[in-house]
């Protein structure tokens, strides 16, 4: 579309938003955009509709069809309402749970959605204030609801907000429901199709009683109460980074038995502006900087930080020199997996019918550890909804021990169906106490795991390619990898290739095996003779192509760790050079 045609189309679309169907404030804002001689903001706000994708909505807040606002949230909620009524015709009273995080407008959007659901004859359980994402998942199951939503943009910058939709098992939507809800949302062509006028009789406010039930269930996950009793006073610094974690995590830690929780007061201020960080993302070192500083000042053993909706957690521990180091998502997942397997085994809880779940791009140690102990491990696509999908399939048949992904999300319980920083923080603190009871620090525990199960190091690389030409370049890169797959990488022969778009696995003898996955996904994996794994996939939400590199080695004792780490760094550099990244 030529620029003039685009501007004409955008102006026509924006003009509709100045009509009587829209509130006065919205109409005034749109008029300002239309009158501005610089049309950049107008085009950005209206050049497309904010898509209700398979993960819901996520976008910058503001007026316009491509922004998070009352009307885009309204379309999503009306579409979901229509779909729920189609799917549950025999349920006398369809019900949903609504939660929200700390972001600007999150409460307003939550109340807007509550009004729309109630106007459509659906009962709403609305949390009285901000709550962690995992508690919404828990509440859906606890209250026997058909669906639920949370208003959150996770760890995105402050300008963003989002809308995540859940099904009756407490998990985010998977096929066919995700695509079918999208179709219903797309049918909402006019604001007049949205029932904004709420029915207060169908809205019930919930809060503290659900918090207590949730925390009581989390307490049942404890595997080493004696270690906590012995080391209840270990110093733990926790920060919610201005988000929902403040509502439950300090209380859960205390109820687990920890008595020395140190806060970061500046970051305990609930704020959608995230005033102390550039990005409220626990994957980024800067987001943990204040907490690490506090830990150094107070002589703490452990640092934990949850993201704004408290579904992910980042940690820092002391190394052998007593300096704080950040533990990445794969390392935390490895420690998490090891602890759960070892303690279940030691406590005699294993019956041979247990399983764990990891994502295909996460460290292979998450699979090696359970499988060596006779526990089945599933490999699923990136995204916790796929872990939850396996849990749904196995409900009543097999026992879930735990699961997680490299992007800082972990889950040790089956009464929640999304990643959970509340239970993860409690268990990470427990692991620190248990390690101490074994005469180890967390850092030494990680090295011990490498001695027992093999050394592994991972690196993620994202290559950004913006705009239409960037999207074409990323598409071409994937096409090139498929048409001319590498025969060797960093001097090691490729012995297996997995193509999740074609759902086939090809070994170096040319033998093809079908990959058993629920849907296709644009992901390629290459496995080499020296046990290196490379995963390649375009990002579904950003203009990026992502590479995940994992290399392996062996260490006989903890003393070999530094050397193995240096060799791994060299190997990763060679892999990157070999792939031209």
Active site residues: 154
Q: In the chain, what's the furthest Cα-to-Cα distance?
A: 74
Tokens 């959150």: give the residue. 152
Cα 91 off chain centre by: 31
For the chain, what is the radius of gyration of the CA atoms?
24
Question: For 310, left (φ over 0), alpha (ψ -120 to 50), or beta?
Answer: left
Q: In this structure, what is the dihedral angle of CA atoms 323, 326, 330, 336, given to the nearest 10 degrees? A: 70
Residue 103 CB partners (closer than 8 Å, separation 6+): 151, 152, 153, 158, 160, 161, 272, 308
Q: Quick one: CA dihedral 477, 478, 484, 485, positive or negative?
A: positive
Distance, in Å, from the CA atom of 518 to the CA atom of 381, rounded to the nearest integer, reads 9
Task: Decide: 409 and 312 in contact? Cβ < 8 Å.
Answer: yes
Distances (CA, A) of 236 to 94, 120, 269, 417, 452: 43, 47, 19, 27, 28
**Helix and strand element counts for the chain (H, E):** 18, 23
Residue 478 is encoded by which pair of tokens? Answer: 């994937």
Nearest 5°: the CA angle 378, 382, 386 is 55
Residue 534 is encoded by which pair of tokens? Answer: 């490379």
Distance, in Å, from the CA atom of 529 to the CA atom of 102, rounded to the nearest integer, reads 48
| HSE toward the beta carbon, residue 246, CA cutoff 13 A | 19
Residue 548 is encoded by which pair of tokens? Answer: 């995940």
In 3-state terms the chain splits into helix, strand, coil percentages (rounded to 5) of 40, 20, 35
Task: Decide: 425 and 306 in contact? Cβ < 8 Å.
Answer: yes
């Amino acid at each position: 579309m030529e620029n003039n045609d685009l501007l004409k189309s955008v102006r026509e679309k924006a003009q509709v938003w100045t009509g009587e169907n829209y509130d006065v404030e919205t109409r005034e804002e749109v008029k300002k955009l239309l009158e501005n001689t610089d049309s950049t903001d107008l085009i950005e706000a209206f050049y497309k509709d904010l898509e209700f994708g398979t993960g819901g909505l996520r976008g910058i807040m503001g007026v316009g069809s491509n922004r998070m606002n009352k009307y885009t949230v309204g379309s999503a909620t009306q579409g979901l309402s229509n779909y729920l009524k189609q799917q549950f015709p025999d349920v006398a009273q369809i019900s949903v749970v609504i939660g929200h995080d700390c972001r600007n407008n999150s409460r307003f959007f939550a109340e807007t959605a509550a009004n729309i659901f109630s106007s459509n004859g659906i009962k709403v359980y609305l949390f009285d204030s901000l709550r962690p994402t995992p508690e919404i998942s828990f509440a859906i199951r606890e209250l026997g609801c058909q669906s639920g939503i949370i208003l959150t943009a996770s760890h995105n910058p402050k300008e963003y907000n989002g809308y995540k939709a859940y099904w009756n098992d407490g998990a985010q939507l998977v096929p066919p429901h995700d695509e079918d809800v999208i179709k219903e949302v797309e049918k909402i062509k006019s604001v007049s199709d949205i029932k904004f006028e709420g029915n207060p009789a169908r809205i019930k406010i919930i809060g503290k009683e659900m918090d207590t039930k949730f925390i009581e269930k989390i307490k049942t996950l404890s595997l080493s109460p004696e270690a906590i009793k012995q080391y209840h006073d270990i110093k733990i610094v926790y920060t919610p980074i201005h988000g929902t974690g403040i509502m439950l995590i300090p209380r859960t830690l205390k109820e687990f038995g920890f008595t020395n929780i140190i806060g970061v007061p500046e970051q305990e201020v609930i704020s959608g502006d995230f005033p102390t960080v550039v990005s409220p993302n626990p994957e980024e070192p800067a987001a943990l900087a204040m907490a690490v500083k506090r830990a150094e000042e107070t002589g703490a053993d452990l640092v934990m930080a949850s993201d704004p909706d408290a579904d992910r957690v980042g940690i820092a521990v002391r190394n052998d020199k007593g300096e704080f180091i950040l533990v990445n998502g794969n390392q935390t997942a490895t420690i998490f997996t090891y602890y759960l397997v070892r303690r279940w085994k030691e406590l005699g809880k294993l019956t041979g019918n247990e399983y764990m779940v990891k994502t295909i791009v996460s460290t292979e140690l998450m699979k090696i550890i359970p499988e060596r102990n006779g526990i089945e491990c599933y490999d699923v696509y990136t995204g916790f909804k796929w872990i939850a999908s396996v849990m749904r399939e196995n409900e009543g048949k097999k026992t879930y021990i735990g699961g997680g992904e490299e992007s800082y999300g972990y889950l040790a319980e089956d009464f929640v169906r999304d990643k959970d920083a509340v239970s993860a923080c409690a268990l990470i603190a427990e692991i620190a106490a248990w390690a101490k009871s074994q005469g180890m620090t967390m850092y030494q525990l990680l090295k011990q795991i490498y001695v027992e199960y093999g050394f592994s190091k991972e690196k993620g690389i994202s290559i950004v390619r913006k705009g239409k030409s960037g999207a074409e370049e990323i598409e071409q890169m994937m096409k090139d990898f498929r048409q001319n797959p590498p025969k060797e990488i960093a001097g090691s022969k490729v012995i297996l290739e997995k193509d999740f778009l074609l759902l086939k696995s090809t070994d170096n003898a040319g033998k093809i095996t079908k990959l058993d996955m629920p849907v296709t996904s644009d992901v390629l994996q290459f496995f080499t003779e020296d046990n290196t794994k490379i995963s390649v996939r375009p990002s579904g939400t950003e203009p990026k192509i992502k590479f995940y590199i994992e290399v392996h080695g062996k260490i006989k004792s903890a003393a070999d760790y530094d050397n193995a780490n240096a060799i791994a760094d060299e190997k990763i550099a060679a892999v990157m050079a070999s792939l031209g990244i």
